[in-house]
Structure 1
């Protein structure tokens, strides 16, 4: 079974940097080596780009790979001292939040300050709810040592 793009990017980054923990940021030379490794995989047919939006020419492919490397560095806990990635703009793509944003714009244009305040409060509540869902961690009691299970 072939490896995912993310798996290939992680392996390429680790092989180039010998990263073993902590936060990682690539310098220009390292990024170039990772790109070369991924592009070699692409030429061998191991790195498959399924998006129709990306051309097959080298500039398009390398631009796509560069964005993917940045995403992997940002979102993979291995490269961020074990910290889980939390998006900064949680909920901004949520249909309900977008609709509320449009309503707020309309209410502001109409000069309805009471409506703006009400809609803003509801939007903020919804965003907090979405953020809580993204950052909530669940404890699996079975993973704890027997001596600590009574504390959970």
Structure 2
């Protein structure tokens, strides 16, 4: 039996350890001395798990809004291949952005430029047409179903494999 590995393992470990140490054991241990310490421990577990995620989402939404001047409509947890960076794939009215929590935004794609997308288990490839070439953007996704719905809604039909318009 192998250890817990994968692109999002750290998120799951943070959730499990946060609720085990601060949520369950903290309430039990600190609750014996003071009810306030027990409640503080529970609040700490909530902050370590959900609080960090909420703060990270607000940071990337603000970054996206600053760059494209449009309100983010949806965001999905992803890992960008090649750079091995974790971040969020953000959809606005006219753009798709990969926004890392810590770091600069370097991937901004207009929806009109996207010609093809391909889903393979938890991996998603988005192929975009630029003036001189085609570029492939590969991501590993935490929840493929949510992303597939968003992409189908925003981009319409995927073009043929040879990147030619039909």
TM-score by length of structure 2 reads: 0.22
Normalized per residue, the structure richer in helix is: 1
Larger radius of gyration: 1
Higher relative contact order (CA 8 A, sep 6+): 1
TM-score by length of structure 1 reads: 0.23
